[in-house]
Amino acid sequence: MGTKGTAIVGMDVKELLALLNRAFCDEWLAYYQYWLGAKIVKGPMKDAVIVELEQHATEELNHALLLTGRIIQLGGTPITSPKAWYDWTNCGYEAPDDPYVRTILEQNIKGEQCAIVTYQKLLERTRTADPVTYNIVLQILEQEVEHEEDLQALQEDLDLMVKKA
Ligand code: MG
Ligand code: FE
Ligand code: FE
C-alpha cells in the first residue's frame, strides 16, 4: 500500500475496498457466465454470438484485473475464495442451463444492465473522493455500456432473422 496515495482518498478506505471487492466478484461471475455460454450456445447466428461472448469474457476478466490492482494498491485483499463470490456479488450469476441463443443473450443483457447501474453508482461515489478509482471505474463502465449494446444489436438481428424466416 502506498501511504500517501491512500491518505489522499477522501472517503472511508474500508468502505471503498468493500465496494471494489463486490465489483470484483461480479466480474468473475460475469467472466464465467460468458465463458461457459460461448461453449454451449445453440441456435441461429450462433457463430456471431460466440465471437461476442468470448470477447466479453476476456474483457470481464480484464475488469477483474483492473479492480484487483486498485484493491491491492489501497492495501486491501481481493476476495480469496470463489465460495465468497456469491456473498459479495451485486449482480449474481445466471447459469446458462438453457443453451438457446436468445436465452443466453437475455441473461447476459440482464447482467450488463446490472453492471451499468453498479458502476454508475461507484462512479458517483468516487467522483470527487477518489479520482484514481473514478478513472478505473469509468473505463470499466464504458466497456459495460458497449457490452449491452453489442448484445442488444445481436438480439435485434436475431429477431429480424426469425421474423423473415
Ligand atoms: Mg463486444
Ligand atoms: Fe465487467
Ligand atoms: Fe460486461
Residue 5 maps to a domain: no
Rounded distance from Cα 147 to ligand 1 centre (Å) = 5
Whole-number Å distance, alpha carbon 89 to ligand 1 midpoint, is: 23
Residue 112 CA, ligand 3 centroid: distance in Å = 5
Number of H helices, E strands in the chain: 6, 0
Q: pLDDT for 7-17, tens place per residue?
A: 999 999 999 99
Would you give the DSSP letter of residue 55? H
Q: What is the CATH classification number for the domain harbouring 73? A: 1.20.1260.10
Instruction: Tell how far the Cα of 28 is from the centroid of ligand 2, in angstroms.
Output: 9
What is the whole-number distance in angstroms between the Cα of residue 55 and the centre of ligand 1? 6
Does 68 reside within a domain? yes
User: Is 4 inside any structural domain?
Assistant: no
Tell me how many domains the chain contains.
1
Percentage above 90 pLDDT, the chain: 96
- The count of residues in the chain is 165
| Radius of gyration, CA atoms only, the chain | 17
What helix, strand, coil percent values describe the chain, rounded to 5?
Answer: 80, 0, 20
Q: What is the pLDDT of residue 2?
A: 86
Q: Is residue 118 part of a domain?
A: yes
> For residues 63 and 112, what is the distance between their CA atoms, to the nearest angstrom?
13
Range of the domain at 144: 10-164
- Surrounding ion ligand 2 within 5 Å at CB are 27, 60, 63
Q: Does any domain span residue 15?
A: yes
Q: What is the pTM of this model?
A: 0.96
Q: Given this model, what pLDDT does residue 164 score?
A: 73
On the question of pLDDT at 165 being above 70, the answer is no
Phi/psi region, residue 100 (left: phi>0; alpha: psi -120 to 50; beta: rest), is: beta
Is 128 contained in some domain? yes
